[in-house]
Structure 1
């Protein structure tokens, strides 16, 4: 892979400004000016909720986020002073796409993510995953990533079941939200439980699916999980997903006025893709999807090396490796699927990361086969 071209500082500054303005506007739009924020203790932590009068003594309480999130805390303090600036944000998006050549989602994908953002999905700690999330990493890392502009015919979102069950808030009915974008969306009854819906599809074939980590018994694998916060939608429980969506990061999707959202941390995305690629091959799906997984992982390893984030990758690698043989074996198998140059890139990046952390790389070195062993 050729060295990646950095985005000019002027455009990186625009990205930061757009992200800030979009988040400000989304926050202001979410809550009525007549309501008030309250901090509620839950299991030893404090969380912001918003109480909105409904007439008389009745109030509607909505989840906002952790009280220890500095960005949320700042917006709570300045809530009444936030103003929308849609025209300026639209111009920033246009400039970043036309002049900085940053990737922009297709119209359908962008509209779906926007509709779910407006409905409150990311406020309720939902996370955008998959190729659409990958598109956000160019702006996030300040590099033009190859293949970031690839289009997709579906969009996936994930949420921890524990969060969905605990926050005492919910999106509007999911089908209604999706039909604000395309009236042909319909529910797809789950194969194992026709009473549950984890996916929705439009007449064009565009698919929206909801996922949740499976950290329990294998009996849960494939069975839909009820998600109280997702407007009636259930989610497909998946292994390894908890690693991917733990501690997501804020990003911006370059659609219309800019859509503020949550995506997996890029280092977790890279390591997770290597694990998923190996699992696909083990299940007999070793073609296009597995190749795409490996390609995206390699691109992110190179990108994060370019921006000197070796240590972040080392931490993610170490965490995944320590979770058991299924995880470490999957990483080994994906390393074997790469060419020598890509394996060397990953090895050198991780070695630099562990050195920066003051930790030995030795325990992981055996995963990288020598030419003699191939």
Structure 2
């Protein structure tokens, strides 16, 4: 894999910081003030803005123990918008560093939802659009063949959607501002709820949430108070993916600040879902794409000496139970032999450093890995 020159990694870090600062500034009127409040034993920042009737509108900002958010609260009056300069940074990173830029409509949709507050409300961008962020995050160029998509997936924990005590504007209106042909798709299990939206061209936007209960809830839409009238489709294994997401920037426009899964969780989750894809319609093709994305990210992390993080996520997923372990094994068995050997050999070393036995996870010595 080809590493991204340090100069461009530094430019990306600068863009990330400035994009986050600008997004924070644009959302909060200088006539308002920040306050803290305790919710379920944890303190959060809120922004109070006086309204025309003598009352106030309260907006959720984020946890007080998030150092970056608290720093921006403290420096609020000094933050300036610099859209033109950030556009130049994005253009440089795309043209000179060959970092991926999303297709225009995808970028517009993510930006619209970002400006509507989705990521401020601790939502997470998942799927292939999130994958497009990892080259800059990992500092290596990843295969572009796994970056093509015709949809965008967004996730949020139901508990967070309830706890933040804030909500986005209506999602359908937000999407229609990008493409007037967007419409709701009534949920098959209960037509009163919508988890998916589609445009006339077939572009699909879907909202997801972890299903941490029994499988019977997987088919029912989950009402999400923070999502502007949208519900979310509960999915098994999603809680592992969106736990402790990281901040990144989608290279669109002047840079769109987003939350994405950590690279190691994204890779391991892709192994799990790849083995559970249905074989009808395009399930087989999606399974291949899942495995390709997982293998590419794992090799990139190994090359960048981030094996310990990868091994830690691998151990956590396997320790979740037999179904998780079997799903990971099935997908690993279908990865090309040479690639699989490199990954498993590195994982074995990482697992040992974490004082666990690779044999617990079906990983033998490097010479025997190919037989698995």
Structure 1 residues 104 and 284, CA gap change in structure 2 (3 angstroms): closer
Alpha-carbon separation, structure 2, partners of 1:208 and 1:41: 33
Structure-2 residue corresponding to 1:341? 338
SS of 1:46's partner is strand
Alpha-carbon separation, structure 1, partners of 2:313 and 2:131: 17
User: Is structure 2 residue 179 aligned with structure 1 residue 182?
Assistant: yes
Alpha-carbon separation, structure 2, partners of 1:144 and 1:36: 42
Could you tell me whether the CA contact under 8 Å between 2:146 and 2:289 is conserved in 1? no
Structure-1 residue corresponding to 2:135? 138
Could you tell me whether the CA contact under 8 Å between 1:171 and 1:229 is conserved in 2? yes
Could you tell me whether the CA contact under 8 Å between 1:168 and 1:229 is conserved in 2? yes
User: Is structure 2 residue 318 aligned with structure 1 residue 321?
Assistant: yes
Structure-1 residue corresponding to 2:217? 220
User: Is structure 2 residue 248 aligned with structure 1 residue 242?
Assistant: no
The TM-score with structure 1 as length reference comes to 0.95
Alpha-carbon separation, structure 2, partners of 1:285 and 1:294: 14
The runs of 5 or more residues in structure 2 that have no matched partner are none
Runs of 4+ residues deviating >6 angstroms: 282-285
Pairing partner for 1:199 from 189, 196, 201: 196
User: Is structure 2 residue 289 aligned with structure 1 residue 292?
Assistant: yes
The TM-score with structure 2 as length reference comes to 0.96
The runs of 5 or more residues in structure 1 that have no matched partner are none
Pairing partner for 1:83 from 69, 73, 80: 80
Shift of 1:50: 0.9
Could you tell me whether the CA contact under 8 Å between 1:104 and 1:149 is conserved in 2? no
Shift of 1:357: 3.2
Alpha-carbon separation, structure 1, partners of 2:8 and 2:335: 33
SS of 1:280's partner is coil
Q: CA RMSD in A?
A: 1.8
Structure-2 residue corresponding to 1:254? 251
Structure-2 residue corresponding to 1:128? 125
Could you tell me whether the CA contact under 8 Å between 1:335 and 1:368 is conserved in 2? no
Deviations for 1:119-148, whole angstroms, at most 9, x for unmatched residues? 000000110000000000001111111126
